[in-house]
Amino acid sequence: MESIISVKGLGKTYAGGFTALKNVDLDIRRGEIFALLGPNGAGKTTLISIICGIVNPTGGSVTADGCDIIRDFRAARSKIGLVPQELATDAFESVLATVTFSRGLFGKSPDPAYIEKLLRQLSLWEKKDSKIMALSGGMKRRVMIAKALSHEPAILFLDEPSAGVDVELRQDMWEMVRGLRESGVTIILTTHYIEEAEEMADRVGVINHGEVVLVEEKNTLMQKMGEKELSLHLPEPLQQVPEALRDLPLTLNDDGSRLIYRFDIKSNDTGITELLRRLNEAEIEFRDLHTRESSLEEIFVGLVRGEREEKAEQLTKETLE
């Protein structure tokens, strides 16, 4: 599929010497919802800020819809809308004035009909004459989205869009994001709410310590890296995993009331038949069973922790050498 954003060898080292991005390569496909995940300080906001023109890169290049963000900044920026993480608004301005300002700033001629449609879509029309400082946090977040969409961008960056937003608004926002994708807008979101990425994203990228650790289709990622768990509810709690079953990937939960068996989703032989036969032979009964897949959050934590451990191992090795 065609890339709408292409990041090549992007690096950023701040004046103090901190390297926020290390040789990042990333392609965002046209029309997709891409979730960029990473712990605090991983480099997500720096990456977005460079693409949007707020931060200067120290190396590499970025194109947005084929336009270089530095050489052809006008064309590149006019295609991008940004909803930053912080609720930065013109407190004394009215909703209508601030959204109209944003459209003009991005070089678009006035279009009151479009602005009205946008404000209605975001349930802001009734508040169009209200000063922003009089709005709730959720409403302010909507205003930020309206500002970012005021110039009809082809690419929308949402940096932690659900931060400080109540459940109802979050659902509305997800709905709106899906609607935007339907209309052809490419959406890149960073989030701490993994369920948000799990719910909406087509692809997921994980960034850690300024490096893109992986980029994968969400479903493939969950299949590839996800585990499934079979939980057997025992009529009587056990103290430990029975001797006869110790060679199997079995664990007991804290109170010993459940035996948990982990298996690979993509494997042809899950070992469940063998497990059930061995339980029968060992005369261990169970009264219920259920299965559960690992969430994107568990995969993400596993990836980040795995990378940390790998780094620590490497460092120890280097120190010893």
Stretch that binds another protein, among 46-54, 120-128, 191-199, 266-274 (CB under 8 A): 46-54
Q: How far is the CB of 67 from another protein (least distance, A)?
A: 10
Listed residue (156, 95, 151) closest to 123, CA to CA: 95
Q: How far is the CB of 203 from another protein (least distance, A)?
A: 24
CA distances from 95 to 143, 226, 277, 308 (A): 7, 44, 67, 45
Both tokens of 296, joined, read 């994107």
Q: How far is the CB of 100 from another protein (least distance, A)?
A: 8
Stretch that binds another protein, among 67-75, 186-194, 216-224, 259-267 (CB under 8 A): 67-75
Find the binding residues for another protein in span 82-101 (CB under 8 A): 82, 84, 86, 88-93, 97, 100-101
Listed residue (274, 248, 273) closest to 261, CA to CA: 248
Q: How far is the CB of 229 from another protein (least distance, A)?
A: 43
Cβ pair 3, 65 in contact under 8 A: no
Total of residues contacting another protein (CB under 8 A): 35
CA distances from 124 to 116, 133, 179, 188 (A): 9, 14, 17, 23
Stretch that binds another protein, among 31-39, 49-57, 177-185, 210-218 (CB under 8 A): 49-57
Q: Given the complex with another protein, which of 112 and 235 has the nearer CB atom?
A: 112
Q: What's the first-to-final CA gap in the chain, in angstroms?
A: 46
Q: Given the complex with another protein, which of 73 and 308 has the nearer CB atom?
A: 73
d(CA 293, CA 198): 13
Q: How far is the CB of 90 from another protein (least distance, A)?
A: 6
Torsion of CA 61, 67, 47, 314, to 10 degrees: -30
* Candidate list 2, 40, 74, 269; residue touching another protein; CB under 8 A: 74
* Candidate list 14, 166, 244, 311; residue touching another protein; CB under 8 A: 14
* Candidate list 70, 105, 282, 312; residue touching another protein; CB under 8 A: 105
Both tokens of 172, joined, read 């509305």
Helix (H) or strand (E) holding 258: strand 258-264
Phi, psi (degrees; rounded to nearest 5) at 114: -65, -45
Phi, psi (degrees; rounded to nearest 5) at 288: -160, 160
Phi, psi (degrees; rounded to nearest 5) at 6: -125, 115
Residue 78 binds another protein (CB under 8 A): yes
Q: Convert residues 134-173 into a mask of x (bound to another protein by CB under 8 A) and - (unbound).
A: -------------x--------------------------
* Candidate list 9, 23, 29, 75; residue touching another protein; CB under 8 A: 75
Other C-beta atoms lying within 10 Å of the C-beta of residue 145: 24
Residues that bind another protein (CB under 8 A): 14-15, 52-56, 73-78, 80, 82, 84, 86, 88-93, 97, 100-109, 147
